Amino acid sequence: MRSGKLCWAVVLPLVLLGLRWTSTTASAQEIKLKWSTFYPVAHPLGPMYQKWGDEISKRTNGKVKISYFFAGTLLKGNELYEGVVKGASDMGESVVGYTRGRFPAMESICLPMGYPDAMNATEIANEFYKKFKPKEFEDTKVLLLHAHGPGILHSKKPVHKLEDVQGLKIRSDSYSAKVAKALGGVPVAMTMAETYESLQKGVVEATLSPLEAMQTWKQAEVVKYTTDSRVVGYTSVFYCVMNMKKWNSLPKDVQKVFEEVSAEYIPKFGALWDYTEEEARKYVLARGNTIITLPKDEAAKWVKAVEPVMDEYVKDAESKGLPGKEYVKFVQEGVAKYSKK
């Protein structure tokens, strides 16, 4: 009896120590990451990023656990890239147009190239990054890039021709502002989150954005007309990046999962943007809004009007030692190639 008690006296502490060690080891293996964006969780991008994260967690056998911070609760759109660089958020997504001058190479993709759809823009953005490897992203790990469908004009009054744009106060971001100005409008820079109220109160009379914003940001409630100006359609490049120090701290097998899953999700984001475009078209028409198609001769005037935007970009990029002409040529050829498909 005494020997039995002695045995348990020895074994029990070892068992408890083992359990404690197992628990500590499992906890040590767990990788907790913060991911943030300015987009609200209700936007279609929200669930897509959660699926992306779930797949990463699944393929790492639950090792990676991601906490999501939507609607700028951790970092606003224009703060996000630097916030990730400094480690305020481990990962995050924002758009290059919210920090003008920070991404001079990627700006070439945001020019009014006449993108036919989001998949086209998304593929070009990723091909551009792989080919040129812009130095502006060197201080983070780029996980994926995607881009929305053609940015076109939505207004409170009908716009049938270029003359109708003259003096129109147009909501834009730092890049599309140049398009608004070239068309004869008065650009007013603001984020997407500020646009609804600004249109409602008359701070602006129109907005440049993809059609999806009419539904996902409810802007069709405060504008009645969409001019399908996709012949000068620009895009915005969205980036999902990770803090470089955090990336380097990850085990190689986990890094591999992040890269594989992210590569698989690039076309999914392109397809999602195009789906939201189609749904938005149905939505605005169901509301009784009007979509105006530009006649061929009028469309040609719009294309001519934005040519100086391209020229200005090339001149500015080359003054910074970047091959601006080569960038523009690459993107234009990409648009032409995908437009033929």
The CATH number linked to 159 is 3.40.190.170
**Would you give the DSSP letter of residue 234?**
B
Residue 297 is predicted with a pLDDT of: 98
Query: Kindly report the CA angle at 73 between 70 and 79, in degrees rounded to 5?
Result: 95
Residue 341 is predicted with a pLDDT of: 65
Whether residue 323 is contained in a domain is answered as yes
- The answer to whether the CB of 80 falls within 8 A of the CB of 92 is yes
E strand spans, 125-253: 140-147, 152-155, 169-172, 186-189, 206-209, 225-228, 237-243
Cβ neighbour number for residue 339 with a 10 Å cutoff: 12
Whether residue 34 is contained in a domain is answered as no
Whether residue 282 is contained in a domain is answered as yes
Which structure tokens are listed for 38?
A: 């300015």
- The answer to whether the CB of 121 falls within 8 A of the CB of 248 is no
3-state class (DSSP) for residue 82: helix
* Residue at 263: amino acid letter: A
Query: Kindly report the CA angle at 111 between 284 and 191, in degrees rounded to 5?
Result: 55
CA distance 64 to 54: 9
205-162-332-103 Cα dihedral, nearest 10 degrees: -30
Query: Based on the structure, what is the number of domains in the chain?
Result: 1
- The answer to whether the CB of 69 falls within 8 A of the CB of 33 is no
Biggest CA pair distance of the chain: 103
Whether residue 246 is contained in a domain is answered as no
CA distance 317 to 135: 13
- The answer to whether the CB of 327 falls within 8 A of the CB of 105 is yes
Which of 74, 61, 63, 72 lies closest to 34 in space, CA to CA? 74
Whether residue 14 is contained in a domain is answered as no
Whether residue 334 is contained in a domain is answered as yes
Whether residue 175 is contained in a domain is answered as yes
Which of 337, 87, 76, 27 lies closest to 190 in space, CA to CA? 76
Strand 290-293 and strand 152-155: the pairing is: unpaired
Whether residue 172 is contained in a domain is answered as yes
pLDDT tens series, the chain, 341 aa: 444 444 444 444 444 445 444 444 444 489 999 999 999 999 999 999 999 999 999 999 999 999 999 999 999 999 999 999 999 999 999 999 888 899 999 999 999 999 999 999 999 999 999 999 999 999 999 999 999 999 999 999 999 999 999 999 999 987 899 999 999 999 999 988 899 999 999 999 999 999 999 999 999 999 999 999 999 999 999 999 999 999 999 999 999 999 999 999 999 999 999 999 999 999 999 999 999 999 999 999 999 999 999 999 999 999 999 999 999 999 999 999 887 76
Can you give the pTM of this predicted structure? 0.88
Range of the domain at 176: 152-235+278-339
- The answer to whether the CB of 137 falls within 8 A of the CB of 154 is no
Where is 190: in which H helix or E strand?
none
